[in-house]
Amino acid sequence: MHSKGVSFLVVEANNRIGGRVHTNNKIFGVPFDTHAHWMRASPTNPLIAHARSNGFVVYRDHGSQQYFVGNRKATKGEMTNLWKTDALFNERIRGSALSDATGPEDNARTALGEDFFSRPWGYTVASEYGVWDMAQDSKDWSPKSWWNSLDADNWFCSEGYGSVVADYGRGIPVSLGTAVREIDWSGDHVEVMTSAGKIKARAAILTVSVGVLAAERIKFTPALPVEKQEAIDDIDMAVMNYIGLLFSEDIFGFGSDAYVYQQQIDETGVGYLTNINHSNLTYGYVGGSQAKALERESMETAIAYGLDGIKSMLGNDIEKRFVKGFATACGKIPLFDGAYSAVRPGRSAARAVLGRPLAEKLFFSGEATHRTQASTVNGGLDSGRDSANQAAAYIKANS
């Protein structure tokens, strides 16, 4: 907007910028990303370049993985079976994504078949791609939507992804603690009623989560068209939470940023990213229905759940090296209502519909509207930049 000579104001309901990207340095005394942590190295993610050129330490996620069967590491033969199961997963999901499956049939559980889940590593592989990535149970995510998403390498930032985003937006004029209550797009302008008063603008870009839209926390005048409301309903707000567990040492001994998975018998388990940046901090991540269930419990219960998963691999004595825990609960934060968007089975077209502007001046932006980089920080940034260009073009054409 600055470069195009268009004046603007950003209003943010929170007391900080960054939205669902935030690094907390106080909880553990080391950087802890309470929301997004993985930096996707897509062609349109300028945040990695910004981090590098502004003194942040960025390093590649090498995807080091370790697997346990009960309290022991998986054998070579078991690992061979695991990789075969992974190949079968991709084969069946690809087949479903390229098929004519529609409606409720476009879900990963159906695509994989019940025989897949009877395999020794079936639930483990399904969890890696599902609850620990898509943040949805297998029955709730769409193979078609997943197959069309952009694959990319991941990177980490020593100072935290949230720190990079906060630095990236430091020069942008933002009115913090300013919640939007109503948007009137009926006239020549867009009138936005906020907790701090009314704003009249030539155009507006809405970047709230699809969860906030679904909860109808913002009133629209006139009401949103039926197709827009249906698109909002067709995109679920997935829940992915982190159980931060700080230890006095590298308890697994696998080095920094190693993924540790235990063989699963359902989709309620915890995946682990251990010894983040040599800090002895482990992220236990839980998604889908189990994440929602844990949000109904106390933080102490969630922490114990994550710690118990590690005990089942390393033994109860590991608690002697446990220092502190903290569990996030993104689904209980009304500013977000979840972690990121996930298209419901059979509703892949919803993202495009959600992203269409209304009356050429009210723009819907954010990761939920991106067709290939949904559920990512860079997807939200790319979508926002596209909306900003469209809004600037509209204003100049109608000045």
Consecutive H or E run containing 176: strand 174-176
**pTM flag (> 0.85):** yes
Please report, for residues 1, 44, 82, 281, the alpha-carbon distance to residue 167 in angstroms, rounded to integers and kept in the order given.
Answer: 18, 18, 41, 24
Q: Output the pLDDT for position 149.
A: 83
The domains located in the chain, with CATH, are 65-152+240-332 (3.90.660.10)
For position 121, what pLDDT does the model report?
A: 99
pLDDT block averages, 10 residues each, the chain of length 399 = 89 96 98 96 82 96 96 99 98 95 92 98 98 97 88 92 96 95 97 98 98 98 98 97 98 98 98 98 98 98 99 98 98 97 94 97 97 92 95 93
Q: Which two tokens stand for residue 3?
A: 């470069």
Could you give the CA distance from residue 275 to residue 278 in angstroms, rounded to a whole number?
Answer: 5
Largest separation between any pair of C-alpha atoms in the chain: 70
Half-sphere exposure (Cβ direction) of 206: Cα atoms closer than 13 Å: 31
Alpha helices (H) along the chain? 46-53, 76-97, 108-112, 114-117, 122-129, 143-147, 161-168, 210-214, 226-234, 288-295, 299-314, 350-354, 377-397
Q: Give the orientation angle of helix 299-314 with respect to helix 288-295, to 10 degrees.
A: 130
| Cβ contacts of 137 within 8 Å, gap of 6 or more | 109, 130, 131, 267, 288, 289
Under DSSP, is residue 97 helix (H, G, I), strand (E, B) or coil?
helix
Q: Cβ(111)–Cβ(315) under 8 Å?
A: no
- H or E stretch including 324? strand 322-327
The pLDDT assigned to 44 comes to: 63
CB of 232 closer than 8 Å to CB of 344: no
Tell me what pLDDT residue 83 has.
Answer: 99
Predicted local distance difference test score (pLDDT) of residue 43: 62
Tokens for 214, please give them: 């679904």
Which one, of 204, 251, 223, lies nearest residue 66 by Cα?
251
Task: Return all residues near 14 (Cβ < 8 A) that are at least 6 apart.
Answer: 176, 177, 335
Task: Answer yes or no: are the C-beta atoms of 374 and 366 closer than 8 Å.
Answer: no
The phi-psi region of residue 192 (left if phi > 0; otherwise alpha if psi is between -120 and 50; otherwise beta) is beta
Q: What is the pLDDT of residue 307?
A: 99
Residues in the chain: 399
